[in-house]
Amino acid sequence: MTEMTVVPRADATLPEVRVNRHWIGGAHVGGAEMSDRVSPSHGVVVSRSAKGTEADARAAIAAARAAFDDGRWSRLSAKARAAVLLRVADLIEGDVERFAVVETLESGKPISQSRGEIAGAADLWRYAAALARTVEGDSFNGLGPEMLATVLKEPIGVVSIITPWNFPFWILSQKLPFALAAGCCCVVKPSEMTPSTTAMLAELLDRAGLPAGVVNIVLGYGQPVGAVLASDRDVDMVTFTGSTAVGKQISRVAADNLKKVALELGGKNPQVIFPDADMESAADAVVFGVYFNVGQCCNSGSRIIVHEDIAEDFVARVVALSAHVTFGDPLDPATQVGAIVTPEHGAKIDAHVQAAKAAGARVVLGGGPLQVPGLGAQFYRPTVVTGVTPDMAIARDEVFGPVLTVLTFRTAEEAVALCNDADYGLSAGVWSENVHTCLAFARNVQAGTVWTNTWMDGFPEVTFGGVKQSGQGREVGRYGLEEFMEIKSVVMRIGRTRANWVKTR
SS3 for 243-278 is: CHHHHHHHHHHHHHHCCEEEEECCCCCEEEECCCCC
* Catalytic choice (186, 298, 419, 438): 298
What was the pLDDT predicted at 495? 85
Beta strands, E only, 121-259: 138-140, 147-155, 158-162, 185-189, 215-217, 237-241
Asked if residue 419 lies in contact with residue 270, where contact means CB atoms within 8 angstroms, the answer is yes
Compute CA distances 197 → 37, 101, 110, 127, 298, whole Å.
13, 10, 16, 20, 20
Q: Which residues pair with 158 in a beta bridge?
A: 185
CATH tag, 14-265+470-489: 3.40.605.10
Q: Work out the angle between the directed axes of helices 78-93 and 196-208 (0-180°, nearest 10).
A: 130
| pLDDT of the residue at 1 | 43
Please list the pLDDT of the chain residue by residue as tens digits (505 residues).
447 889 999 888 999 999 999 999 999 998 789 999 999 999 999 999 999 999 999 999 999 999 999 999 999 999 999 999 999 999 999 999 999 999 999 999 999 999 999 999 999 999 999 999 999 999 999 999 999 999 999 999 999 999 999 999 999 999 999 999 999 999 999 999 999 999 999 999 999 999 999 999 999 999 999 999 999 999 999 999 999 999 999 999 999 999 999 999 999 999 999 999 999 999 999 999 999 999 999 999 999 999 999 999 999 999 999 989 999 999 999 999 999 999 999 999 999 999 999 999 999 999 999 999 999 889 999 999 999 999 999 999 999 999 999 999 999 999 999 999 999 999 999 999 999 999 999 999 999 999 999 999 999 999 999 999 999 999 999 999 999 999 999 999 998 888 888 988 7
CA 429/CA 441 separation, integer angstroms: 9
Using DSSP, state whether 50 is helix, strand or coil: strand
Alpha helices in 21-137 (DSSP H): 54-69, 78-93, 96-107, 111-132
pTM, entire model = 0.97
- The top-level CATH class assigned to 270-452 is alpha beta
Q: Is 298 a catalytic residue?
A: yes
Domain ranges of the chain: 14-265+470-489, 270-452
Q: Which of 330, 343, 325 is nearest to 372 (CA)?
A: 330
324, 443, 482, 485, 490 from 139: Cα distances, Å = 59, 33, 18, 18, 9
Distances (CA, A) of 105 to 34, 102, 279, 326, 490: 18, 5, 36, 18, 52
Q: Measuring CA to CA, which residue among 186, 191, 154 is closest to residue 85?
A: 186
Sequence-distant (≥ 6) Cβ neighbours of residue 503 within 8 angstroms: none
Find out whether 269 and 429 touch, Cβ atoms under 8 Å: yes
- Give me the pLDDT at residue 31, please: 77
H/E element holding 428?
strand 427-431
Alpha-carbon span 408 to 460, nearest angstrom = 34
Report how far residue 366's alpha carbon sits from residue 346's, in angstroms, rounded to the nearest whole number: 14
Q: Which of 264, 398, 475, 483 is catalytic?
A: 264
**Active-site residue, 264 included:** yes
Residue 267 burial by Cβ neighbours in a 10 Å radius (0-12, 13-18, 19+)? buried
Sequence-distant (≥ 6) Cβ neighbours of residue 446 within 8 angstroms:
419, 420, 425, 467, 468
In sequence order, the β-bridge partners of residue 36 are: 48
Nearest to 219 by CA among 189, 185, 197, 187: 189
What is the distance of C-alpha 278 from the center of its chain? Answer: 29
Cα–Cα distance, 327 to 41 (Å, whole number)? 11
- Cα angle for residues 219, 220, 224 (degrees, 5° grid): 120
Question: Does the fold of domain 270-452 match that of domain 14-265+470-489?
Answer: no
- Preceding amide of 224 cis, omega within 30: yes
